[in-house]
Every structure is written in C-alpha cells, then in structure tokens.
Amino acid sequence: MQRPYNFSAGPAAIPEEVLQRAAAEMLDWQGSGMGVMEMSHRGKEFLSIYEAAEAGFRSLLSIPPEFKILFMQGGGLAENAIVPLNLSRAAGVDFVVTGSWSQKSQKEARKYASEVNIAASGETSSFTTLPDPASWTPSVGASYLHICSNETINGVEFHELPDLRALGCDAPLVVDFSSHVASRPVDWSRVGLAFGGAQKNIGPAGLTIVVVREDLIGQALPACPSAFDYRLVADNHSMYNTPPTWGIYMAGLTFDWLARQTEGEAHGIAAMEQRNIAKAALLYGTIDGSQLYYNKVSPPCRSRMNVPFFLRNEALNDAFLAGARERGLLQLKGHKSVGGMRASIYNAMPLAGVQALVDYLHDFEKAHG
Ligand SMILES: *Cc1c(COP(=O)(O)O)cnc(C)c1O
C-alpha cells in the first residue's frame, strides 16, 4: 500500500524508511529491552544515540569544530528570545525582515536588546523579493545581524548566505534555517549562529537544533533562564536538563537516511540539494506555464521548500483541495495569513510526489480552466 503524499509545512512528512525503522525499534531498541522513549538520557544506550545524531549532523553539514551543536527545546519561536538573551549583550541588534518569520523574530528581540535596527526589509514588495545585501544598512557595533534564510509562509529563500564582512559589517550572522535546514550545504564561514526547529525537515516537533560558534557564547544576560544559556547547554552536552530524547533519536535516523541519498555522483546533502532543485523546477515550471495557477515570488528568490500558489479563480479553491485529497495529495491549503495553496516539498518529498502534484495540477486545470 502506498502512503499519500503529504505537503504539510510542518510538522511535515518524515521519510518512510525512518518511520519504519522507528516502528521496528519502538518496543525494543537494539536488544536493550527498552524503547527509546523509556531510556534514561544518562544511560549508555541513549548516550550512543545522542553521539551518533550529533556526529551525523556535523558530518552531513560539514560543521567545523569551532561550532557547538546544541539540542534544545522550545522551537524556532523560543530561539527568537533565547538568541538575544545569549548574544545581544544588551546592545543593539540588526534584522533583515523578509517575511512573517523574521518579522516575528525582530519583535521578540525588542524585549531583550537595547535597540533593534531594521537593516533592510522586503515589505515594500509585500515580501515577494529579497532586498539585495549591497543595499542593507547594518548599524555600527551591533551584536549580531539576524536573517531568516527560508521564509516558510512567504516562500522566499536566500540561495546564498550573505557575506557580512564583504559588506563591511563585523557582526556575526544569525540564521533561522528552520524550514530548509539540511536541504543544501551551508557556508559556515559566513555564520555565527544558526537555529531551526526539527519539525520541517529533520523529525518530530519538540527538538530545536542550534549551531553556534563557540567564541560567541558565555555572555548571556543575567535574566537568561539557565536551561536556555548556551554556555551551560554546551558544557553539559545538551543535558543540562533532560533533552528531547525521542526527537534526537528520530533526527539521528533522518541524518542516517540523508547521508545515504545519492543523485548521480552526488551523495548526502549534495544529492539532496540536486533533488530539491529538480523538484522546485518541476513545480514552479508547471505553475508558471499555466493559465489557472500563479506564484507571486520573484523567480531568483523563490523557495525550494515552500511553494505558495494561487488559483486565478478562487471560487475553485475548495474543489481543488477536495480533488487533491482524493488523489492522496494532502495538506495543500495555504497559510491562513496569505490564503491560496502551499506545497511544502521538504527533503522527505520524493520527485515522484511532486510529479503526482504536477499531474493533478494539469488535470484540474483541464477540467476547470
Ligand atoms: C516553523 C518556523 C518557526 C517556528 O517554529 P516553532 O517550532 O513553531 O517555534 C520559526 N521560523 C521558521 C522559519 C519556521 O518555519
């Protein structure tokens, strides 16, 4: 029996192989007599799971040794507070606002940083383009500059991280990569800190991954909760308090799956990137070539992960969604703040799933266009 294709923006589809392995190990992890959810986080069984997940992520994304990998909780939204609590040093911070998520992030930072400067904003284009880094106006002496490298709701993505030093800006770059982490390689030489919730591209909700350059931590504001102090979390190998053990286990299985992916000569993340480029090209090409559907985002800024699109005749929206469900194409309804449709095509979505969606787009347009 084939499972439906799930286009949810998050929590999102998980590779079937990962779910099957977790199911097989649910009651008894590798002869231990315990399921992973029932294990002490300090026992040797879970420690081996933790170490494999951390090493798997480091190797997959080629994370250099000067970066710490932290497994935390609270999701992307909690990091909107945890980052300024740890890195702002009560000084000013800069934001580039490119959509709903970076907008939320800068609002939250105002609670903790003495000043929030908007170094650039895509608002004048209703977030259908990304402001060119050459036009950004970072402030002098800011503690960091924050971007959201993939805006899940608006469907815009930085296909290259900005090089702040080349812009004459010394501040470390903070990146919210929640919704495209592990979809492509990361140039760590441009990054101070990157964070992401797991539920889009890595595993179940409840785990947040933070990758932070070690020299940036250790100066948290006095009000920072201890469980969210990066120094304490790092020094305790993410076990200052009980970590999200199930999420870490599932993430480890996903990293393992990712490392085994191939496309031609490419392996792991490079293979994933190629596949994601092909998936996005197929879907955007179909939307652009149709009379019924359209996408508002400027082509060079389009997200490879989240594809919002609209029907020119909005009266057909309900019929479109019902027909999609009948074909086993699930969760295509757009975010309530933008309406229309959204297809999230994260790593776990195979090219065949995008092909099934494209076939449906054609058939529905033929029937109703
Ligand atoms: C989903 C998402 C978040 C919020 O994550 P939570 O786990 O709900 O806190 C933050 N940033 C981006 C870019 C997201 O896609």
pLDDT tens by residue, 95-120? 999 999 999 999 999 999 999 999 99
Q: Residue 239: exposed, middle, or buried by beta-carbon count in 10 A (0-12, 13-18, 19+)?
A: middle
Mean pLDDT, residues 175-181: 98
pLDDT tens by residue, 239-290? 999 999 999 999 999 999 999 999 999 999 999 999 999 999 999 999 999 9
* pLDDT on residue 242: 97
Specify the pTM.
0.98
Q: Is the pLDDT of residue 150 over 90?
A: yes
- For 364-368, the CB contacts below 8 A with 24+ separation are 364/292, 364/320, 364/323, 365/290, 365/291, 365/292, 365/293, 368/292, 368/313, 368/316, 368/319
% of the chain exceeding 90 in pLDDT: 98
Please give the radius of gyration of the chain, using alpha carbons only, rounded to the nearest integer: 21
105 φ/ψ angles, rounded to the nearest 5 degrees? -65, -45
* pLDDT on residue 90: 75
pLDDT tens by residue, 188-226? 999 999 999 999 999 999 999 999 999 999 999 999 999
Mean pLDDT, residues 147-164: 98
150 CA closest ligand 1 atom index: 13
Report how far residue 1's alpha carbon sits from residue 331's, in angstroms, rounded to the nearest whole number: 20
Question: Furthest-apart CA pair in the chain: how many Å?
Answer: 62
**What spatial distance separates the first Cα and last Cα of the chain, rounded to whole Å?**
32
Q: What is the DSSP string of 214-232?
A: GGG-S---TTS-GGG-HHH
* pLDDT on residue 261: 98
Q: Residue 27: exposed, middle, or buried by beta-carbon count in 10 A (0-12, 13-18, 19+)?
A: exposed
Report how far residue 203's alpha carbon sits from residue 14's, in angstroms, rounded to the nearest whole number: 6
Q: Which of 97, 101, 210 has most ligand 1 atoms within 8 Å of CB, for mutation?
A: 101
**Which of 29, 68, 136, 200 does the annotation list as catalytic?**
200
Q: Which of 77, 82, 97, 304 has most ligand 1 atoms within 8 Å of CB, for mutation?
A: 77
* Ligand 1 atom 13, closest CA: 178
Q: Is the pLDDT of residue 228 over 90?
A: yes
**Which of 29, 68, 94, 101 does the annotation list as catalytic?**
101
Residues making up the annotated binding site are: 42, 101, 152, 176, 199, 241-242
Asked if residue 181 lies in contact with residue 202, where contact means CB atoms within 8 angstroms, the answer is yes
Measured from CB, residues less than 6 Å from any atom of ligand 1 are 10, 75-77, 101, 148, 152, 176, 178-179, 197, 200
* Ligand 1 atom 10, closest CA: 76
**Which of 68, 136, 176, 257 does the annotation list as catalytic?**
176
101 noted as active-site residue: yes
Report how far residue 197's alpha carbon sits from residue 245's, in angstroms, rounded to the nearest whole number: 15
* pLDDT on residue 318: 98
Q: Which of 73, 83, 98, 152 has most ligand 1 atoms within 8 Å of CB, for mutation?
A: 152
Using pLDDT thresholds of 50, 70 and 90, give the confidence band for residue 369.
confident
29 noted as active-site residue: no
Parallel, antiparallel or unpaired: strands 67-72 and 341-344: unpaired
In the 3-class helix/strand/coil scheme, how is 133-176 assigned residue by residue?
HHHCCCCCCCCCEEEECEECCCCEECCCCCCCHHHCCCCCEEEE
176 noted as active-site residue: yes
- Name the token pair of 288: 């652009």
Report how far residue 260's alpha carbon sits from residue 57's, in angstroms, rounded to the nearest whole number: 13
* pLDDT on residue 1: 74
Domains belonging to the chain, first-starting first, are 17-258 (3.40.640.10), 266-368 (3.90.1150.10)
User: How far away, in angstroms, is 33 Cα from ligand 1 center?
Assistant: 35
Question: What value does the mean pLDDT of the chain take?
Answer: 97
75 CA closest ligand 1 atom index: 7
Residue holding tokens 């469907």? 155
User: How far away, in angstroms, is 135 Cα from ligand 1 center?
Assistant: 27
pLDDT tens by residue, 33-92? 999 999 999 999 999 999 999 999 999 999 999 999 999 999 999 999 999 999 999 789
